[in-house]
Each structure stands twice: as structure tokens, then as C-alpha cells.
């Protein structure tokens, strides 16, 4: 049985309770894990505070060295960790390998920033005084992670936090804790001191982290309703927050675009991870002159996506993570179809795939009414609504017509049109003629109801520090 990790030790829940982790492709039992609660979070927060005393006082160069060594050790275990991620989450083994690799690389990327914290000297009106602005670590940070990218989204929080000298209480999603535990264990084996990263498990640990008085900052990736609840709870102790929430990313394709490249990026953007990505392309708006050709190319690509158990190397799309999630996407599609939408490709469940698995075919839908759920809500699965647009003005208006503002893309060979997209799309990220990849170097995060705060980049690192102004007098 897997356990939580508190102060470097394997820990059971104080209550003694456990729950099961099941494989989304087969329903088979993968493991049993502790069902932690507030008592376990309290233990983890105290362990993290104790570790903060020493971790934050190491030289930054030493922290960098420790993190590089720990990351290298974790990366040597990618081949063991990836199948575990596929078994608990469902994604294909290729996707799991990429994700496990990204975990280690992310720790190494932020390790390089550990000794590059810069402050400022500020001149003051009184020349016998001297002003400085310093940056210090915050303390114990909470990291709350969803099930769609358990490792990437954990590393996005843990890596900048510990590189800046903080310590962490990490809560994976209840249904995807196993690969995360394996990654953190590998970091500890590779030399990360005990208590710097603690892992608690169980649904109830989420609110316990948000309300724990020793935890000074919380970073959550999750749905928008969860973000609202967390923000309300965090108000009680005025906790710092980073909220990476839901998205319904629009993609606009104009007549003058490279349609082959666009089709490739849209297909990856919508169907990677079985469509369960916050920055997936969830709404497609195509100008009239490009519409038929692009649709044909998208259908050709979707038809090559073999749906099956993620452990089978031939599979290109695994099952959906849960039955509830599949039912939600099916309901969104059904509502559109009942109101006149048609399948340009796919739909339904694959024939012959394991009956116990949560498999769903990729689907491309046209003639979806403008007020259908698929345009207004987040579709967290492999179904893409496509709509004709007259011109860029119409595309931009439709693209901005939701409460979300995470990512967005535009495909065109016109610099002027691209620039309008960049300045007018209401989103934290705009890809122009590019695959939707969240680069380490660029700050990632949403606007509107997709949240606030950044992950990735120097910005994320600095969000795990706080500034202090200093006046030296009597000089």
C-alpha cells in the first residue's frame, strides 16, 4: 500500500482510513492509499515549518546543487514512474513519459534560479539613510493539484517554491496520487532534505491546507468553482493565492493560414491527454475560405487516433479519467446534437474497447448552436465544436464571449491580423501560428474566471518570494 510522505517518512492517515485507486482503462485496482484529513495536514505543515528553518537558511548555491542532484535522480526513474501514471490516470505511456520527464526538468529549471534572486537599492531623500528592497521566501506553501496532469502541475508549484527557499505541503488529486508519491520519493532519495516537500492524500486535505494557519500561500490548479471556494476560504487568514483555473481556449483560423500546420496543432491541442487539458483548444472558429479544407484535414487526423489502454504503445488516446467526466462530456455533446449539431467525425464510445474502461471516441462537431453548452462551458474531453466565421472581427467577438481567459490561438499569415489577435484576445497566453505549449520561460496563467497569478518563468519564481523594504539609518 502506498503511503503519504511527511518529514521524509512514509505515513498512514491518522484515522487509519484508506481508499482505492482504480485504473480508468479497466476498472482494476491499482493500489490503496491513506485517506488523510486535517490532522495529517497539521502534521505535514509542522514538518514543513521545521524544515523551513534550515532549508531557507542554506546558501542559495547549496539549494541549487541539492535540487539538481535530486532532479537528476528523479529523471533516472522516468521509466518506472511513467507506467504508474498511465495506470492511475489513463493517459498513454508516451504522454506519461513526457510528463514524468517534465517533472524533473522543471525542478532543474527552477534550481538554476535559486541563486539569482535580485533585490534593489533605492536612493532616499535623506542622504544619511540607505534604502533596499529584499526578497525573502514566504514560508510553508500549499500546493493543490488536479488529476489531468498530476506531475507537471505539481512541479509547477513545488519547483519554484523550494528553489526560492520555501517548503511545501503537496496534495495531489485524490484519484492520481501514486506517480506524484514516486516522484517525491525519488527527490528525497536523491538528497532533498526531509520535510521540504510533504505529500498528503485524501479529498479532505484540500480545505485543511487552505485553512491551516501555518501555511502562508496556496497554489491551486483546478476548476473555476473550486477556485472560488478556495479564495473564499483563504480570506480567513489572508493567504497569498495563485489560482490556475478552467479554460475554454478559442482558436481562430483565417483564410491565409498554413492549414496543414494549423490542423496538426489543433488536433494535438484538442485531443492530447484525451482532451483533458486546461489549455486545450476547446472552440474553433474558421474563416469561410479555409473552412472546408481545414475540416477535412482535422477529420483525417482524428481518424488516426487509436483509442485504447494507455499501456498499449499503439494507443494514441487513452480513456477519460473518470466515468463522471465522460458522462459530462457526453451530456454536453448530446445537448448540441439534440439542437441540430452534426458529427463531422467520431462521437460515441469505441466498439470493442474494454467495457469497464471510460473510453470515448474523438468527436468533431459542426452546426453547433451559438448558445449550446459546448461554446459556453469548459468541454474537458475529446470533443471539438467548429464554427464558420465571416472575418476576424466576428472571430474575436466570439472568442471573447465566455467568462474564461486562459489561452487562445490565431493562425494567419498576416502580421496585422496576428497583432490584432495578440492585443484583443482576452487570455493570459496567445499562440500565433504555434502549437499550444506552455514554455518554462514564459509566465503562464489566466485572466477573467480562469484565475490569477503565474506559473512558469521568473514571474512564478518571484511569486514564491515576498519583498521587504529596508532603511539603514545613522550612516
Which residues are designated catalytic? 244, 278
Interaction between residue 226 and ligand NAD (CB under 6 A)? yes
The span of 133-141, 239-247, 327-335, 352-360 binding ligand NAD (CB under 6 A) equals 239-247
Give the number of other Cβ atoms within 10 Å of residue 437's Cβ. 12
Nearer to ligand NAD, 207 or 466 (CB): 207
Q: How far is the CB of 94 from ligand NAD (least distance, A)?
A: 19
Residues 442-471 binding ligand NAD (CB under 6 A) are 446, 450-451
Least distance to ligand NAD, CB of residue 399, Å: 17
> CB–CB of 201/172 below 8 Å?
yes
Look at residue 111 and give its three-state secondary structure.
Answer: helix
Mark the segment that binds ligand NAD (CB under 6 A) among 57-65, 67-75, 126-134, 203-211.
203-211
Q: Is 237 in the site for ligand NAD (CB under 6 A)?
A: no
Total number of residues shown for the chain = 475
Closest CB 260 distance from ligand NAD, rounded Å = 28
State yes or no: residue 210 binds ligand NAD (CB under 6 A): yes
Instruction: Report in angstroms how near the CB of residue 177 gets to ligand NAD at its nearest.
Output: 9
Q: Which long-range CB contacts under 8 A does 114-123 form with residues at least 24 apart?
A: 114/60, 114/61, 114/63, 114/64, 114/67, 114/163, 114/164, 114/165, 115/59, 115/60, 115/61, 115/63, 115/64, 116/60, 117/60, 117/164, 117/465
| Among positions 35, 43, 87, 171, the unique one binding ligand NAD when judged by CB under 6 A | 171
8 vs 445, beta carbon nearer ligand NAD: 445
Q: Exposed (0-12), middle (13-18) or buried (19+): which is 168, by Cβ within 10 Å? A: buried
How far apart are CB 291 and ligand NAD at their closest, in Å? 28
Residues 6+ apart with CB under 8 A from 381: 274, 275, 276, 320, 325, 326, 328, 329, 360
Kindly state the smallest distance separating residue 156's Cβ from ligand NAD, in Å.
8
Cα–Cα distances in Å, from 241 out to 229, 268, 460?
12, 31, 12
Interaction between residue 222 and ligand NAD (CB under 6 A): yes
- The contacts of residue 322 (CB under 8 Å, 6+ apart) are 24, 147, 175, 358
Quick one: 207 or 335, whose CB is closer to ligand NAD?
A: 207
One of 147, 375, 429, 462 touching ligand NAD (CB under 6 A) = 147
Q: What angle do CA 443, 444, 448 make, to 5 degrees?
A: 120
* Number of residues forming the site for ligand NAD (CB under 6 A): 32
Q: Which stretch binds ligand NAD (CB under 6 A): 90-98, 169-177, 387-395, 462-470?
A: 169-177
Kind and range of the H or E run holding 18:
strand 18-22
374 makes contact with ligand NAD (CB under 6 A): no
Tell me the closest approach of the beta carbon of residue 36 to ligand NAD, in angstroms: 11
Residue 145, SS3?
Answer: coil
Residue nearest to ligand NAD (CB): 206
Work out whether 267 is an interface residue with ligand NAD (CB under 6 A).
Answer: no
* Beta carbons within 8 Å of 312's beta carbon, 6+ residues apart: none
Q: At what angle do helices 178-189 and 93-111 cross, to 10 degrees?
A: 40
The reply on whether position 163 binds ligand NAD by CB under 6 A is no
Residue 379 engages ligand NAD in binding (rule: CB under 6 A)? no
Binding mask 107-146 for ligand NAD (x = CB under 6 A): -------------------------------------xxx
Query: Considering only CA atoms, which of 467, 473, 472, 465 is closest in space to residue 56?
Result: 465
Is residue 203 involved in binding ligand NAD (CB under 6 A)? yes
Is residue 322 involved in binding ligand NAD (CB under 6 A)? no
CA angle 257, 262, 265 (to 5 degrees): 155
Q: Is residue 15 at the binding interface for ligand NAD, with CB under 6 A as the rule? A: no
In whole angstroms, how close is the CB of 330 to ligand NAD at the nearest point? 16
DSSP designation for 421: H
**Residue 380 sits in the site that holds ligand NAD (CB under 6 A):** yes
Q: With beta carbons less than 8 A apart as the criterion, state whether 26 and 81 touch.
A: no
Selected from 255, 378, 426, 449, the binder of ligand NAD by CB under 6 A is 378
Contact residues for ligand NAD, defined by CB under 6 A: 144-149, 153, 171, 173-174, 203, 206-207, 210, 220-223, 226, 229-230, 244-247, 278, 378, 380, 406, 446, 450-451
Amino acid at each position: 500500500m502506498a503511503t503519504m510522505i511527511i518529514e521524509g517518512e512514509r505515513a498512514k492517515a491518522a484515522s487509519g482510513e484508506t481508499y482505492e485507486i482504480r485504473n480508468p482503462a479497466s476498472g482494476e485496482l491499482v493500489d490503496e492509499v491513506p485517506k488523510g484529513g486535517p490532522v495529517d495536514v497539521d502534521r505535514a505543515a509542522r514538518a514543513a515549518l521545521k524544515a523551513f528553518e534550515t532549508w531557507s537558511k542554506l546558501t542559495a548555491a547549496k539549494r541549487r546543487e541539492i535540487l539538481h542532484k535530486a532532479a537528476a535522480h528523479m529523471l533516472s526513474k522516468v521509466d518506472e514512474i511513467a507506467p504508474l501514471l498511465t495506470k492511475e490516470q489513463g493517459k498513454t505511456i508516451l504522454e506519461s513519459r513526457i510528463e514524468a520527464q517534465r517533472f524533473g526538468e522543471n525542478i532543474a529549471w527552477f534550481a538554476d534560479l535559486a541563486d539569482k534572486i535580485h533585490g534593489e537599492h533605492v536612493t532616499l531623500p535623506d542622504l544619511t539613510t540607505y534604502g533596499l528592497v529584499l526578497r525573502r521566501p514566504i514560508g510553508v506553501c500549499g500546493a493543490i493539484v488536479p488529476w489531468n496532469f498530476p506531475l507537471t502541475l505539481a512541479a509547477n508549484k513545488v519547483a519554484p517554491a523550494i528553489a526560492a527557499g520555501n517548503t511545501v505541503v503537496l496534495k495531489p488529486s485524490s484519484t492520481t496520487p501514486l506517480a506524484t508519491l514516486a516522484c517525491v520519493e525519488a527527490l528525497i532519495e536523491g538528497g532533498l532534505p526531509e520535510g521540504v516537500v510533504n505529500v498528503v492524500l485524501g479529498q479532505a486535505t484540500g480545505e485543511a491546507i487552505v485553512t491551516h494557519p501555518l501555511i502562508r500561500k496556496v497554489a491551486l490548479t483546478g476548476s473555476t468553482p473550486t477556485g472560488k471556494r478556495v479564495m473564499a476560504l483563504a480570506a480567513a487568514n489572508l493567504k497569498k493565492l495563485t489560482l490556475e483555473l478552467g479554460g475554454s481556449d478559442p482558436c481562430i483560423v483565417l483564410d491565409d493560414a498554413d492549414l496543414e500546420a494549423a490542423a496538426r496543432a489543433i488536433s494535438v491541442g484538442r485531443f492530447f491527454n484525451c482532451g483533458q487539458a486546461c489549455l486545450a483548444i476547446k472552440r474553433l472558429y474558421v474563416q469561410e475560405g479555409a473552412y472546408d479544407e481545414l475540416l477535412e484535414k482535422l477529420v483525417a487526423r482524428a481518424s488516426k487516433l487509436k483509442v485504447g489502454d494507455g499501456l498499449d504503445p499503439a494507443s494514441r488516446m487513452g480513456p477519460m479519467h473518470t466515468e463522471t467526466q465522460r458522462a459530462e462530456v457526453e451530456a454536453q455533446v448530446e445537448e448540441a446534437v439534440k439542437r441540430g449539431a452534426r458529427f463531422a467525425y467520431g462521437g460515441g464510445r469505441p466498439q470493442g474497447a474494454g467495457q469497464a474502461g471510460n473510453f470515448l471516441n474523438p468527436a468533431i462537431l459542426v452546426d453547433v448552436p451559438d448558445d449550446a453548452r459546448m461554446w459556453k462551458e469548459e468541454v474537458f474531453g475529446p470533443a471539438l465544436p467548429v464554427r464558420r466565421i465571416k472575418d476576424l472581427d466576428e472571430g474575436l467577438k466570439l472568442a471573447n464571449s465566455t467568462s474564461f481567459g486562459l489561452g487562445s490561438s490565431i493562425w494567419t499569415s498576416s502580421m496585422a491580423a496576428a497583432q490584432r489577435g495578440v492585443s484583443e484576445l482576452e487570455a493570459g497566453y496567445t499562440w500565433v501560428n504555434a502549437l499550444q505549449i506552455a514554455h518554462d520561460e514564459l509566465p503562464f496563467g489566466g485572466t477573467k474566471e480562469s484565475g490569477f497569478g503565474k506559473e512558469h518563468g521568473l514571474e512564478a519564481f518571484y511569486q514564491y518570494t515576498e519583498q521587504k523594504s529596508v532603511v539603514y539609518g545613522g550612516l
